[in-house]
Structure 1
Amino acid sequence: MAVVELNYDLNEPAYATLYRERSKLRLVDLCGYEVHNQPHYAAIWEEANGSASRPSWSGHAIRAHDYQQVIHDREVENLQPVRINGYSIGYDTFFAAIWEKSDGPVRVTQHGLLLGALSSHLKQVRQQGSRIVDITCYSSFGTNQDPHCPQVDWVNRFASICEKSDGRDWEVTLTPIEDYQAEFSRQTQLGRWPVRVGGFTCAPPRGFPHCEALGPIEQMIIALWEKQGELAGPVRHGLDINAYVQEQATQANAKCRPVCIGGYSWNLGDFAVQRFNPIWERREAQPVISNLVTKFMRDFAAPGLSMAVAKDGRLAWSAAFGLADKESGTRVTTSSQFRIASVSKPITSAAIMKLTAENRVRLQDFVFGASGQLEELVPSDARAKGIAVEHLLEHSCGGWPRLGDGGDPMFLNYAMSQSELIAWVLANRGLDTDPGTKFAYSNFGYCLLGRIIEKASGQTYQDYVRQNILLPCGIDSMFIAGDTQLDRRPEEVVYYDQNGADPYSIRVSRLDANGGWLATPTDLVRFAVRMDGFPTPPDILPADWLTWMTTPSKVEGANGYAKGWDTTADGAYLHDGDLPGTAAVVARAKDGYCWAALVNTRDIDTDSNRSITTTGLVNLMWDVHDQVDVWPMSQPL
């Protein structure tokens, strides 16, 4: 569940201060309104870690005559309008607006349109194959543009944001507040529900609010409706500030998050008071995750996907989607096993940390040389004798990088056994830098850690990890993967690569410590909750070693990488991975959540040689974390 914060009735200095303080949160709704001739603002902020984490810009007091320049400036920055709100303070008109970077359809915003043209505008939007994304009405003081009787007066206007239609059914209505409940009933009978609701004071001619009370003015409600299966959460309209505060507390207790404020002014100038048309949503796991996964699988051509989420050490969600085998039509289940690629590295790191806690290995131990953990191995580059165990954990050993000249050593010479490959690499590939000076991601380094585990424990890598790391986590079904389709385990999926690579031509079994494990997401979550530093269930490592394992390296270029975990500035740690035909992620967030997700495909960006499938999967799971507020279960792990 993401941090969601609602602020209202902020004056100008208070909003400006809050805006600076909330710079790491995403602004999702913003409106300005007049209270006794003074500007006030309301805003909704959300934590944004996944696809919602994107460049943005917002302005809360943009003068109407400056707004066209703002539009131009944001278009130059390739930002698109997300929210638009018009309001007046005294005789001056302003806009509050949010713009964001987006890969979606191009959006167009228009403003200053006379209210009388609303019907023709909506008709034109439909004729262009577009839909309304947001709409606002407001009263501005200026020339009424009546050709028969032009005069300076209060004029009712509107502004909108539209984009190419995605086929959804939508409608915009404008009604007096006393008729809105009837309109609500009519729309909901048609299966439409409000997604944006605003209000404004429809002023009579020649109203001068700073001098006298106005005559028979109206409160009007402008609403955008969309067809949905059911109402996602409560909606209210015309609330005064006391009712709004009380209702927000009620909805927060019901785990409903605010998504629309709908703040506006009833009356104008000295007589203006605030009113609200709020919308909340109850973000339950099943519909939210189903929509997110459907989009992910479409965008990344994923045949199958499986995921699991834990909260406070207990399983909150486990689900599987799509096909494990396209030819047979076998579907993915929560028991389906996937190659987890480099998500194996936190497991290997945990094994090293356990041996270190037991004084069987020291992080400062040299790897090679007479006193080294692997003294029998003799590298050709003399600098390699300075490599310590810690350097391998942090990818600062100085050589054998994944993206180095000559290719990743772990994906060369498939005819060689693991020991033959190690000997060949040490004899033929020197270091690029001195050990401990620069970060360079090295699969080969983690292969060497696997051999250190074997040397220190007297067991095979797989046996030691299964008995001392996995079984204490309650995991008994994880194994090192086989290489060919004939080696597939009964519950293992089939892999499909999108770049022409053959998932069954690589020596996955030889990757063991750096990328060879098979797992389900639930098993990975069982591992993660025992590595999360939270009270329950108990962690399998002593607290000080877990802290050391997840403390970012200080070497140049580490960029938050620790010892088998990639860390974030806000206290999360995670690891992703990919191989031809598979992508994976496991993560632990600072708020008690852990999760894992696996897919049986991969697509590589050929320019960067990075897996866009893996990036998409990481973003998907952060979106799940940020958007779901209500989970269906809480089971022991």
Structure 2
Amino acid sequence: MKSISLTGLFVLFITLASLRSGFSQWVARHNLSAAQYQAAFDDYVKKGFRLSTVSGYTSGGQERYIALWEKKAGPEWAARHGLSARDYQNAFDDFSKKGFRLTHVAGYGVDAQAKFAAIWQKKSGAAWAARHNLTAAQYQKAFEDFSKQGYRLVHVSGYVVNNVEYFAGIWEKSAGNAYIARHNLTSSQYQQAFNDFTKQGYALKTVSGYTKNGTNLYAAIWEKAGAPLWAARHGVSNGNYQYVFDNMYYQGYKPAYVNAYASGNSCEYNAIWTNTNMKGADIAAIDEAVNQYMSSQSVKGLSIAVCKDGRLVFAKGYGYADAASGEEMSPDQPLRIMSISKPVTSVGVMTLLDQKKISLDKPVFGPNSILGSKYATPSGKEKLNRITVRQLLNHTSGLRSCNGESVFWDQNKNADDAMNVLLNASDLITTDTSSQYIYSNTNFFILARIIEQVSGQSYENYIRSNVLNKCGIGNTMYVGAATGTAKSGEATYVPMDKMNLQLWAGFGGWVARPIDLLKFLNRVDGTAIPSDVITSPTHTAMVAGTSLNNNYGCGWNVSGTTQNHNGCFNGTRSFLVEMGNGISYSVIVNNNPSNDGCGWMMKGAIEAGLNKVSGYPSYDLF
């Protein structure tokens, strides 16, 4: 439960966890203007949500809000935001007279004045007291005085106005569990306190950030109480907060508290999450396997997703999507999948088979073939005319592999240019068809041309319409750019090779999240739930090995009833694996491991970790 601070790129976040079974219904929003926050507040209240946390702050000098809502029963409540100190005092007095008690308050500086956002609930309970606009000295004295009177601090908010730190607090007169409170801690001091108190069995309940003289400071409360699995982060940059939030969500965590504060010309975030969905030991088993592999192989960034019986039950990004900028990895950042593109192409061909538009034993080149009218067989290469679709799919065509040719690295070249280069290469044909298994990118480059010829569509459009859309995969899976550069939101790679990914598409040009790859695998794995996008006989044909290689079918490595494929090229290693027993996973890294050529050590490490997991939640995070 280490709390650290990093940097990266910002994306607005909203999630309705009520759409996923296994979670209580909640909504989280951040970076809202005052008007946007009011509109969101009104909308969620109408839908039966109640505000649980709100924090005002500034980013780039502009007033912003971060908040949590939860759909649950409770007493009558009220909330206000954007209040001056006087207005806040008036609201406080008015609600107190009506029997409401303050349960949450956040102070923040806007245009050299203090503002407040607060939540009240109409309920009885222990005696309570609240103070605001206390200087550090006044806050310390109030803390000591209330402690002597038997009150305990249950909430604190630190904020800065005109470069002076102030505090607002809520105290309750109750015995309760042992607790510790600290304020005016620097980031390193807070981290040390966090580590120390966590080791002693304390759980973080509140953490408030504020900046004075360019230094980020923290006030926090820890409580020694039996609690569910929890995690916290502080000082998360504006750019990385979305990625951190996504990471926690896909591990089964629910936000319990959020806070934001101005930092320089931007802002930073603190948050606390709880997890009643997964055991800490199970998450630790996956973490330890991944972290050990990354450390031993000098891997900078890794993204993984895990399915149980067709349900997404876990996903997490480790390390960095862009180590140079400090952008953290999350499950929602697409990465190059390289040769896992081959199963995608294979399924595209299989859909044509189901549509009765193609035969696997149809010749590819020559008279009465699929491509003969478009790509003539060069003189002296009549052996090409013996190649069938099936032989391309199972790498028994006798053609050597491509991608080293300059045409595949030229953004100005198209598929016809590349096909002409290959067909006229003197070394294209290495053996007779069906005489040897030769893993070859050329086979799947040609298969992409077959899909285009038979369907009358571009390769990517056909795959999207007939495969990805049917698998429920959106625009986070796509063929990379002809320039070979990463698209917006995509992870970066070390080294950053700039091949023409449009030409690599059929054999290595797709970009996807591990989550997308599992959606794909779920719908092409031959199991009844969820239903496949290809028929059962077609699936049987797809995973059938050959006498030349019983462990490779049509675009898939096969082992018994399970299927998998890996991807391996500069800057990327990837795996998509059906393990059996209902477990499948996908993993991608974005730099070359130091001693794991094509990722097989990664596969072994991941599976060793997954085999230690005692059980998975019943929810589905897809």
Deviations 1:52-97 (A, max 9, x none): xxxxxxxxxxxxxxxxxxxxxxxxxxxxxxxxxxxxxxxxxxxxxx
Alignment-derived partner of residue 453 in structure 2: 455
C-alpha separation in 2, matches of 1:554 and 1:286: 42
Letter in 1 for 2:399: G
**SS of the counterpart of 1:588?**
strand
C-alpha separation in 2, matches of 1:595 and 1:559: 23
Contact 1:283–1:630 (8 Å) recurs in 2: no
How much has 1:631 moved relative to structure 2? 2.0
Q: 2:284 aligns with which of 266, 284, 287?
A: 287
Contact 2:285–2:610 (8 Å) recurs in 1: no
How much has 1:312 moved relative to structure 2? 0.7
How much has 1:370 moved relative to structure 2? 1.7
Letter in 2 for 1:516: G
CA RMSD for the aligned pairs? 2.6
Matches within 5 A, 1:432-451: 432-451=430-449
C-alpha separation in 2, matches of 1:310 and 1:350: 20
TM-score, normalised on structure 1?
0.51
How much has 1:329 moved relative to structure 2? 0.7
Contact 2:497–2:571 (8 Å) recurs in 1: no
Deviations 1:142-172 (A, max 9, x none): xxxxxxxxxxxxxxxxxxxxxxxxxxxxxxx
Alignment-derived partner of residue 635 in structure 1: 620
Alignment-derived partner of residue 594 in structure 1: 584
Unaligned 5+ segments in structure 2 are: 1-198, 202-278
Identity of aligned residues (%): 28
How much has 1:489 moved relative to structure 2? 2.0
Kindly tell me the number of residue pairs found equivalent between the two proteins.
Answer: 344
Matches within 5 A, 1:363-378: 363-375=360-372, 376-378=374-376
Alignment-derived partner of residue 298 in structure 1: 295
How much has 1:632 moved relative to structure 2? 4.0
Matches within 5 A, 1:129-528: 284-375=281-372, 376-380=374-378, 381-401=381-401, 416-429=413-426, 430-477=428-475, 478-484=477-483, 487-497=485-495, 503-528=496-521
Contact 2:410–2:499 (8 Å) recurs in 1: no
How much has 1:620 moved relative to structure 2? 2.7
Letter in 2 for 1:582: T
Deviations 1:274-309 (A, max 9, x none): xxxxxxxx8943110111111011111111111111
Deviations 1:343-371 (A, max 9, x none): 01111000100101111011011000121
Letter in 1 for 2:328: R
How much has 1:590 moved relative to structure 2? 2.6
C-alpha separation in 2, matches of 1:549 and 1:382: 27
How much has 1:428 moved relative to structure 2? 1.8
**SS of the counterpart of 2:432?**
coil
Matches within 5 A, 1:72-111: none
Q: 1:541 aligns with which of 530, 534, 547?
A: 534
Q: 2:525 aligns with which of 528, 532, 535?
A: 532
Contact 1:303–1:601 (8 Å) recurs in 2: yes
How much has 1:514 moved relative to structure 2? 0.6
**SS of the counterpart of 2:466?**
helix
C-alpha separation in 2, matches of 1:440 and 1:408: 18
C-alpha separation in 2, matches of 1:284 and 1:532: 30
TM-score, normalised on structure 2?
0.52
Alignment-derived partner of residue 620 in structure 1: 605
Letter in 2 for 1:634: Y
1:567 equivalent to 2:562? Answer: no
How much has 1:626 moved relative to structure 2? 1.9
Letter in 2 for 1:597: V
Letter in 2 for 1:401: S
Deviations 1:407-462 (A, max 9, x none): 57885777643211211111123411111221101101100000100111111000
C-alpha separation in 1, matches of 2:405 and 2:502: 16
Unaligned 5+ segments in structure 1 are: 1-188, 192-281, 498-502, 606-610
C-alpha separation in 1, matches of 2:282 and 2:594: 30
C-alpha separation in 2, matches of 1:351 and 1:509: 16
483 and 620 in structure 1: CA distance in 2 versus 1, 3 angstrom threshold: farther
505 and 409 in structure 1: CA distance in 2 versus 1, 3 angstrom threshold: closer
Contact 1:283–1:629 (8 Å) recurs in 2: no
C-alpha separation in 2, matches of 1:410 and 1:313: 40
Letter in 1 for 2:469: L
C-alpha separation in 2, matches of 1:549 and 1:312: 21
Contact 1:300–1:613 (8 Å) recurs in 2: no
332 and 283 in structure 1: CA distance in 2 versus 1, 3 angstrom threshold: closer
How much has 1:564 moved relative to structure 2? 0.7
397 and 327 in structure 1: CA distance in 2 versus 1, 3 angstrom threshold: same
Q: 2:547 aligns with which of 550, 554, 559?
A: 554
